[in-house]
Amino acid sequence: MDPATSDPLHSAVEIQGAMLGRHKQELSAARHAIETLATQVSNLTEQVHHLRLDPPATSRAFESPEPRINNPPCYSGEPTECRSFLTQCDIVFSLQPNTYSRSTARVAYVISLLIGRAREWGTAIWEARAECTNQYQDFKEEMIRVFDRSVFGEEASRALSSLCQGNRSITDYSIEFRTLAVSSGWNEPALLARLLEGFRAEVKDEILSREVPSSVDSLIELAIRIERRVDLRHRARGKELALSVASLSASLPSSSAGSGAEPMQLGGIRISTKERERRITNRLCLYCGAAGHFVTSCPVKGQSSSVSGGLLVSATTPVSPSRSCTTLSVHLRWTGSSASCSALIDSGAEGCFMDETWAREHDIPLRQLKEPTALFALDGSPLPRIQRETLPLTLTVSGNHSETISFLIFRSPFTPVVLGHPWLVCHNPSINWSSNSILSWNASCHVKCLMSAIPPVSSVSSSQEEPGDLTGVPEEYHDLRTVFSRSRATSLPPHRSYDCSIDLLPGTTPPRGRLYSLSAPERKALEDYLSVALDAGTIVPSSSPAGAGFFFVKKKDGSLRPCIDYRGLNDITVKNRYPLPLMSSAFEILQGARFFTKLDLRNAYHLVRIREGDEWKTAFNTPLGHFEYRVLPFGLANAPAVFQALVNDVLRDMLNIFVFVYLDDILIFSPSLQIHVQHVRRVLQRLLENCLFVKAEKCTFHASSVTFLGSVISAEGIKMDPAKVQAVIDWPVPKSRVELQRFLGFANFYRRFIRNFGQVAAPLTALTSVKTCFKWSVSAQGAFDLLKNRFTSAPILVTPDVSRQFVVEVDASEVGVGAILSQRSLSDDKVHPCAYFSHRLSPSERNYDVGNRELLAIRLALGEWRQWLEGATVPFVVWTDHRNLEYIRSAKRLNARQARWALFFRSFRVRDFLSSGL
C-alpha cells in the first residue's frame, strides 16, 4: 500500500481506538455507580422493613390504650342466649385486639365467663385439650352446635304466625316481631299483614280507619303514635275520676257485717248506680266490667281460684299534678343498677305500685304473678288487672331508711311509685305534711330499716326537752329545734349494730393503771362529772379487774376536760381500720361553693354504746371510786373509726356532694344561699331522724368563710388559720430533739401551703435523727427562721377545678424535689397555686443524674395530684428546667426504672413540656 495513502488510515484507526478506550472507562464508571445505588436502595429497603416490623419501645409506650369495657354477663347454657353472648364476646375482642390477639386467649376468656352447665362443658373440653380449643372460630362453632337453639326458618314462621301484642306496649311487641321477622324469610307484604293482625283491637281499628302504611317501619311508627293518643285519653279520664272521687265515694252504699264479701275480695265493692248504668248502656258485664259477655256467663264469676282478691285504690291512684299531694324522694336499687324518683304517699291505696312505663324505661326486672289481681277504684269501677310485679328491690327513703320490697306493676302516668296503706301501717312514719319530710319512724324500723340510727329515747318527754340557746341559729331552722336539745343528747342510747366492740389480742388482759392525785378544783370537777354521768346512766360503778388512770386537762377557756389513760388497753386491742377522711380531701370538693355552715355534734361519742359484755374493759380509777362506761368514751383506739362509720352511714347520700364529715365536725357548702338553706335543712333533718344532736353554740351558719380543720375556707380559696400561723411565729427556738419534733409535726400539717417545705426544713429534719447529736447550728437557725417567714407569706390556695387546665411546675436539687400545682384564675387571668409538694431525696435517689432527678420530680408530683390530673378534661402543662418528658418519649433505650415511669406517664394527658427557667 502506498505510504502516502496508509498514514491517514492509521491516524483514523488510532483515533477510533482512543474513543473506544474512553467509552470503556465511562461504562465501567457507570456500572460502579449503578452497583452503589443498588446497595443504597437495598439498605434503605431493609431499614424501612425494620421500621415497619420493630417500632421503638418508646412509641408503643405512648400509644393510646385500649378502651376499658365491662365483661359480658356470664352464660349459663340458656339456648336462646348463646348467640347474643358470643356476639358480646366478639365485640370485646374487636375493641381489645392486642389483649386477645391469640385464639387460645379468646377461648380462655369465653370459658371464664361460663357458669352452671356451660362451665361444666367448657371445663371438660379445656382439660381434655380438645382440638376445637386451638382455634377460636372452631370453638365458637362447637359452642353454637352444643347450646344454640335460636329460632330460624319454619320455626320462626310458626312463632311469627301466632305472635300477638296482648297486654304489651307497641314497642315491646315490635321488638319481638322484628327479631322473628329477620329469621323467618317472609317478604314485606306478608310481614305487614301479620304485624297489623297482631295489634290490639283498639289500635287495629284506628289504623284501619286511615290509609295503611306500605312498610313495616312506617306501620310501627303509626301504631306507636296511636298508642300514645289512647294513653292520653285514658289519662284525661283518670283526671275526671280524681276530681270527682269525693262525690263518687259518697254514693257508695254502706255495707253491713253480713253483706258478704269484704272490700279486699273480688267483687267485694258494690258498683254505684252511675257505674251500673254505664255498663248497661255499653253492654258490659255487670260483674267484671269486661265486654263480650254478660254476668250470667262471666268467666270470672265464681272462679276465685284463678284471680286473687281485688285491691282498692284512690280513684285510679295516679294523681294529677295539679292536685295537692304528698310525695317523698326515694332511691331504688336492684342488681347492677339504681334510680331515684318521687313516691306518692296514698293512704287509700291497698298496696305499693310502680308505673309500667317507668319500670320499662329503667329496665327493672319483673315477674308474672301466680294469680292475676283485680283492681278497683273507690267508685267501684274496675281497673286493668295486675299480672306482674317487680323482683325484690331495695327501697331507700329519707337517705338511710332501707328495706326490700316488691311493687305491683300498674299504669300510673303521674307518679312512678305509690306507697300505699300497708306500707304506712308497717313503718308508721311521722310525716311533716307541709315540708313533705319524715320526722321519725316506728320502733321496729330502728332495728330492721335504720341500721345507722339511734332509736328514740323514751325516757325524755317532749315537755322536758330543752333545745338550748338558739340565738345564733337562723329562724329557718327553729322548727327543728329538737336537734339542738341538750337533754336528748345526754340520754343513754340503747344497744344497736354500731356498738363499739373491744376485742383483745389472744392471751392478753387489760392492765390496771395508776391512781392520779387531784387538786381541789379537779376534785370538785370530778364530783360534778360523776354525778351527771351516773344520773344519765353513761357510767356505772364497776368491780372490773381492769382500771385505767383518770385525770383532767385544761381547755382553752380554762375549764377542765376529763381524760382517761387507755394506752395500755389500746396496745392489746384488735384495731378497727375503718378509714378517716384525709384532711386534704375536704378541700377537693369545694369548687364553686360560696356559702358555708359548720356543725359540731353534741356528746358525739356518748351516742354510741359499748358492746354488751365489753363494758368492764373500760373501767377507770378515781379517788371517789371505780367505774366503767356504758357508752363510748374518749381515748379508746377504735372510737374514731366507729363514730366515723356511724356518721358516714347517716349522711352517705350527701357526702362529698354538699357535705364533708370528719368525726363530729360537719361542713356544709353550697353555691347560693337559697340552695344552702335547703342543704342545711336536709342535714339537720337527717341528724334529728337518727337522734344525733348539734351543739348550737359551736356552730357557724351561712358564712362566706369558715374555719374548718385548721384552715380558713372561703369562696376565694383556702388559707392557713391565722391563730395557727401566729403560734408558729411565736414558737421559741427548740432546746431538744423532742421540742424540735413537736415543732416540725405542727408545721408539717401546713406543708401543702409552703413552697419547697421539704428542702427548707431539711437541716431541721436532719437534727431529729437519733444517729446524730442534737446541736443547734447556724444552718438550723436559718432554716427555722426561713420556715417561719414562709408561714407569714403563704398564699391563698385556690380550689382545683378539673374542667380547666392545670399547670405543674417541678424543680429538683441535690437534696430534694418540689412542685407547684396551679390554675389560671378567671377573674384576674393570673396563675394561682392550688397546692405545693416537696420530697426529700433518699440516699439512693441523690445518686440520680440531673435528668433522672427531674423525671423523679415529675413522677412524684403527678402521683401526688393524680386524682385531679388524671381526671382533668383539659390536657395539663408541665414546666421543667429540662425537656425530660420529651426525652423519655423519644429514647430508643430505657432502663427498667425509666420504663416504669414511661408506663405511668401514659395515663396522663400532657399537652406541652415547656422550659420554665425556674
Three-state secondary structure call for residue 560: strand
Q: Is 372 left (phi over 0), alpha (psi -120 to 50) or beta?
A: beta
Among 346, 355, 649, 664, the one annotated catalytic: 346
Residue 236, classified by CB atoms within 10 Å of its CB into exposed (0-12), middle (13-18) or buried (19+), is exposed
Q: What is the CB neighbour count within 10 angstroms for residue 79?
A: 11
Three-state secondary structure call for residue 173: helix
> For residues 448 and 386, is the Cβ–Cβ distance under 8 A?
no
CA distance 558 to 706: 24
Q: Could you tell me which residues come within 8 angstroms of residue 883 by beta carbon, excluding any fewer than 6 positions away?
A: 913, 915
> Which residue from 786, 759, 770, 784 is spatially nearest to 737, judged by alpha carbons?
770
> For residues 318 and 384, is the Cβ–Cβ distance under 8 A?
no
Cα separation values, 727 from 741, 743, 765, 796, Å = 15, 10, 20, 19
Cα separation values, 534 from 466, 541, 624, 782, Å = 20, 9, 13, 55
How are beta strands 876-880 and 806-812 bridged, if at all?
Answer: parallel
> For residues 89 and 110, is the Cβ–Cβ distance under 8 A?
yes
CA distance 31 to 53: 33
Phi/psi of residue 53, nearest 5 degrees:
-85, -35
Cα separation values, 9 from 3, 20, 579, 791, Å = 10, 17, 114, 110
Alpha helix positions (H), 495-561: 520-536
Residue 344, classified by CB atoms within 10 Å of its CB into exposed (0-12), middle (13-18) or buried (19+), is buried
| DSSP result, 633-690 | PTT-TTHHHHHHHHHHHHTGGGBTTTEEEETTEEEEEESSHHHHHHHHHHHHHHHHHT
- State the cell numbers at 6: 496508509
Q: Cell numbers 370530778 label which residue? A: 526
Q: Could you tell me which residues come within 8 angstroms of residue 164 by beta carbon, excluding any fewer than 6 positions away?
A: 173, 198
Dmax of the chain from CA atoms?
165
CA distance 779 to 761: 10
Three-state secondary structure call for residue 149: coil
Alpha helix positions (H), 128-152: 136-147
CA distance 139 to 255: 70
Packing angle between helix 116-127 and helix 136-147, nearest 10 degrees?
140
Query: For 238, how many CA atoms within 13 A lie in the half-sphere containing its CB?
Result: 24
Q: Could you tell me which residues come within 8 angstroms of residue 768 by beta carbon, excluding any fewer than 6 positions away?
A: 737, 740, 741, 744
Q: Is 346 a catalytic residue?
A: yes
375 has which bridge partners?
311, 383
> For residues 628 and 615, is the Cβ–Cβ distance under 8 A?
yes
How are beta strands 620-622 and 430-432 bridged, if at all?
Answer: unpaired
- State the cell numbers at 432: 311533716
CA distance 842 to 817: 11
CA distance 391 to 331: 16
Cα separation values, 45 from 50, 56, 57, 750, 913, Å = 9, 18, 21, 61, 35
> For residues 505 and 572, is the Cβ–Cβ distance under 8 A?
yes
- The residues assigned a catalytic role are 346
